[in-house]
Structure 1
Amino acid sequence: MSGFVLKRILSVLPVLFSVTFFVFLTVYLSPGDPVSNILGQQATPENVAELRKEFGLDEPFLMQYFLWLSHIVKGNLGDSIIMRVPVMDVLMKNFKNTLILTLGSLIICAGLGVVIGVLSGLKPSSWFDRISMFLAQLGASVPVFWLGIVLMWIFSLQLGWLPSSGMYDMRNEGSFFSLLEHMLLPSVATAIVSLAVIARLTRSSLMDVMNADYIKTFRSYGMPASLIIRRHVFRNMLSPVINITGLQIGHLLGGVLFVEMVFSWPGIGTLLYQAITAHDIPMIQAGVLFVAFSFVLVNLITDLVVDMLNPRMSG
């Protein structure tokens, strides 16, 4: 197993290197000039050239990339061109808020998805199975930002049950209950698509295990159904469920970035939107890099967990 772990970790390194290159290339080729945004239209060519030199924007592409990469390896993500503060200081605070929202979405989609999938798989073709799978099919097709707007309109603007924006009430800054109120709608909006995917896969995995020959053998020996399900069915259906749940974390991160702008949640999505609008290159690069690295790391951890549950998969 240690060989499999080492192989997976080593296989991630070229992926991470490729991520850094394409993130830098994408931002480099994007239209707009941050120096012009800072100095304005009245700036002289000398002032523009001086500021471009200060930020290293006058160097060739590869020189800029390797200089940026060397700073990243040292833990230095640079300074925000607009805010004039270290990118890491702003990014970590917003990234923490994004992780909070992602965790809330993950709890909803994994918890409800597995429960719905198990109940549907245990009684296929029942009314619950038909309705839940129809809703899952419908939920998998809904854009998260559109669903966020609909949920806000219903539960915030029409019913007034939940807040429509922000992370806390101004009167209850830091309150856990206030945080739960504010994160419920964006978490549900983000979780719906992943919930549908997990529910359908859980149902399919459960039914595959239930129809396996060794399960039929246990039944023929008179072993109670509840015992078979607890000891054998759930354990053998875990690997694909955990695998797809891990993959959905990356999808949740992507969905959270859009939902944050809808609900004015102070996370990476909102920060990236502001940075893109202002063409704040260091902030854009660092934000996209954080999201990409998180996705790669989650996939790595998922593979390792699945391998521990089923060592045969590692070969």
Structure 2
Amino acid sequence: MGRYIVRRLLIAIPVFFGITLLSFLIMNMAPGNPVDMLINPNTPKEMLELKKELLGLNDPLHVQYLKWLGGFLQGELGYSFSSFAPVSQLIGERIGPTLLLASASLLLGILIAIPAGIISAVHQNSRLDYMMTALSFLGTSIPPFFLGLGLIYVMGIELGWLPTGGMTTLGGTGGIGDIILHMILPVTVLGVTIAGKKVRYVRASMLDVLQQDYLRTARAKGLSEFMVTNKHALRNALIPIITVVGAEIPLLLGGSIIMEQVFQWPGIGQLTMEAILSRDYPTLMGLNLIAACIVLSMNLVTDILYATVDPRITYS
């Protein structure tokens, strides 16, 4: 296993730098210019050119990329074109709230999806199965931003039970209880969306495993149905579930961009939108760097979990 992990990490290095190169080229191919977003349109052309020169935007693309790469290899991500703050500082301030929101949403989605999928599979073609399937389709079909706006209107405006945005109450102490209260609505929206997509995967995987001969043998030995389903069947059904959950994490971070805008959550999503609107190339490169690390690491973690769940899987 150790040699396999080292080999995967070595393969990930050129993939990682390939991602940064493509990201840099795509950003610079997009219409617009950072200087146009920073300075009043009536500014003399000479001043615009001077600003571009100071930011290094007049250099050829390969020179700009090599400068950024040299800074990255020295542990620096550059400075934001809009706020002129270090990119590492901007990301460090925002990544915590995003990870908190994403991890809580993923946990809620899994806690809903796995029991619901198991119940649906065990009671195949029953009313309970049809109800679970209908709810999963409903959770998948409702756009997250629409569900979020609906919950804000009902729970926040009409009933006044929950805050409608932000991470803490303005002027408040900002304690754990206050943060949890502000997390309820966005976590519910993301958790329901994740659960809606995952219930069908869990159900299909469990149905495939429940027909296996070794489960009939386990029942014949006198094991309870609870042990047969939740210990023997579930563990062997986890392989495809791990795959879809591992793929969900990068998508969840991408989807949090919309949710953070809806609920004004101060995370990576809001920073990404601000960087896109201001054509802040260094900040966007830093965010793409984080996304690439998450995708590559989750692929490796998923493969390791395969072997952990199923001892028959080995890596030589």
Q: Could you tell me the TM-score, scaled by structure 2's length?
A: 0.92
Corresponding residue of 1:211 = 211
**Within 1, Cα distance between the matches of 2:309 and 2:297?**
19
Matched letter for residue 226 of structure 1? F
**Within 2, Cα distance between the matches of 1:47 and 1:35?**
10
- What SS does the corresponding residue of 2:141 show, helix, strand or coil? coil
Corresponding residue of 2:141 = 141
**Within 1, Cα distance between the matches of 2:38 and 2:226?**
67
Structure 1, unmatched stretches of 5+, are none
Q: Percent identity?
A: 32
Q: Which moved more, 1:8-17 or 1:249-258?
A: 8-17
Retained in 2: the 8 A contact 1:121–1:129?
A: yes
Residue 8 (1) aligns with residue 37 (2): no
Q: Which stretches of structure 1, 4 residues or more, deviate above 6 A after TM superposition?
A: none
State the shift of 1:314 in Å. 4.3
Corresponding residue of 2:301 = 301
Matched letter for residue 33 of structure 1? N
State the shift of 1:273 in Å. 1.4
Q: Which moved more, 1:147-156 or 1:225-234?
A: 225-234
Corresponding residue of 2:53 = 53
What CA deviation, in whole Å up to 9, does each residue of 1:123-170 have, x standing for no partner? 222222211111102222232222211221221122221111100012
**Within 2, Cα distance between the matches of 1:293 and 1:231?**
33
**Within 2, Cα distance between the matches of 1:81 and 1:121?**
53
- What SS does the corresponding residue of 1:140 show, helix, strand or coil? helix
Matched letter for residue 302 of structure 1? T
State the shift of 1:310 in Å. 2.3
Within 5 Å, give how 1:50-89 maps onto structure 2: 50-89=50-89
Q: 1:172 to 1:295 in 2, by over 3 A?
A: farther
Residue 288 (1) aligns with residue 288 (2): yes
What CA deviation, in whole Å up to 9, does each residue of 1:257-313 have, x standing for no partner? 111001111111111212222222212222233233323322221222222222444
Residue 199 (1) aligns with residue 196 (2): no
Corresponding residue of 2:188 = 188
Structure 2, unmatched stretches of 5+, are none
What CA deviation, in whole Å up to 9, does each residue of 1:164-221 have, x standing for no partner? 1100012434311111111111112222232122221112222222210111122234
Matched letter for residue 243 of structure 1? T
**Within 2, Cα distance between the matches of 1:314 and 1:194?**
30
State the shift of 1:96 in Å. 1.1
**Within 2, Cα distance between the matches of 1:207 and 1:56?**
59
Q: 1:59 to 1:314 in 2, by over 3 A?
A: farther
**Within 1, Cα distance between the matches of 2:146 and 2:285?**
27
Retained in 1: the 8 A contact 2:136–2:200?
A: yes
Retained in 1: the 8 A contact 2:20–2:288?
A: no
**Within 1, Cα distance between the matches of 2:19 and 2:142?**
29
**Within 2, Cα distance between the matches of 1:303 and 1:173?**
43
Residue 239 (1) aligns with residue 234 (2): no
State the shift of 1:21 in Å. 1.4
Residue 256 (1) aligns with residue 256 (2): yes
Retained in 2: the 8 A contact 1:194–1:251?
A: no
Corresponding residue of 2:267 = 267
Q: Which moved more, 1:205-214 or 1:100-109?
A: 205-214
State the shift of 1:44 in Å. 3.3
Tell me how large the CA RMSD over aligned residues is. Answer: 1.9
**Within 2, Cα distance between the matches of 1:309 and 1:83?**
47
Q: 1:216 to 1:109 in 2, by over 3 A?
A: same
Q: 1:173 to 1:256 in 2, by over 3 A?
A: farther
State the shift of 1:118 in Å. 1.7
The size of the alignment, in residue pairs, is 315
State the shift of 1:79 in Å. 0.6
